[in-house]
Amino acid sequence: MFKKFFEQLRWKTLARQLRRPKGALGHKVASKMNEANEFLYYFTLDQMEIQNGHSILEIGFGNGKFFDKLFNRAQQLQITGIDFSDLMVKAAIENNETSIAAGKLSIVKGQSDQLPFADNSFDIVFCINVAYFWDETGKHLQEICRVLKPGGKLYTTIRTRESIEKMPFTKYGFRSYTEEDWKLLAHQHNLLYKKGVLVSEPAIEPEGNEVRSQSLCMITEKKSI
């Protein structure tokens, strides 16, 4: 009984940290997230139609270690990142001092259901392994649609429901979606569902057990006026 209780407590703690990293453990979790998400970051960038001069928003950037990879995709990009973890905002600022000083990167503390940006601000919005934590997904999509320019695209990368269910910590506060779920949500919030791109990730070994996951990058577009 006690073994099961402490195991659940451990998974609950990890789930909370993945949602909103805090304290010394938060830094360790962020580093592990970088390892787990690096493949998906490149995969998502490969789907994005980035052009010179684009304005791009990343929701949930962690410690900001991957912003440089985004800048390598085109010239004169204006990148903004938003995250609601104080710890991650501070870490991302420290990790990207040069880009911030150059005026090409802005780091903002906030939530994606209350975006502090003007209407029609971004050509692209994207998030990777973030949508699981949205309690009211519609509010987030409504705000994202508001700040996207007409014809702008949202790229949402998440692991498939089947993959999520294999992970012991995801029963604590994670919300999974099917592609059909996302199509319906997009339709309800003025977003056109363009396509979903499925990818098989390299195997990982949490707790010594090999886990193979699949993820979807779901691409939606703000309807033109």
Bridge partners (DSSP) of residue 43 are none
Q: Give percent above pLDDT 70 in the chain.
A: 78
Q: Which pTM value belongs to this model?
A: 0.86
Q: How deeply is 131 buried, as exposed, middle or buried, from its count of CB atoms within 10 A (0-12, 13-18, 19+)?
A: buried
| Cβ-based neighbours of 95, under 8 Å, separated by 6 or more | 63, 64, 65, 67
Cα atoms in the 13 Å half-sphere on the side-chain side of 85: 25
pLDDT of residue 5: 39
User: pLDDT tens digit string along 110-147?
Assistant: 999 999 999 999 999 999 999 988 989 999 999 999 99
pLDDT level of residue 207 (50, 70, 90 thresholds)? low
Q: Give percent above pLDDT 90 in the chain.
A: 60
* Mean pLDDT score, 193-197: 97
Domains of the chain as residue ranges with CATH: 2-222 (3.40.50.150)
| Cβ-based neighbours of 207, under 8 Å, separated by 6 or more | none
Residue 157 DSSP SS3 = strand
Average pLDDT, the chain: 86
User: pLDDT tens digit string along 31-63?
Assistant: 666 677 789 999 999 999 999 999 999 999 988
Higher pLDDT, 135 or 6: 135
Question: Among all chains, which residue has been given the structure tokens 């903004």?
Answer: 80
User: pLDDT tens digit string along 65-99?
Assistant: 999 999 999 999 999 999 988 888 998 999 999 99
pLDDT of residue 168: 64
- Tokens standing for residue 70: 């985004």
- Tokens standing for residue 144: 């994202």
Rounded Cα distance between 220 and 191, Å, is 6
Report CA 201 to chain centroid distance, whole Å.
16
222: part of which helix (H) or strand (E)? Answer: strand 214-222
Q: Give the phi and the psi of residue 152 in degrees, each rounded to 5.
A: -70, 160
Higher pLDDT, 169 or 133: 133
Of 140-149, 173-182, 193-202, the one with minimum mean pLDDT is 173-182
Dihedral Cα 120, 56, 108, 116, nearest 10 deg:
10
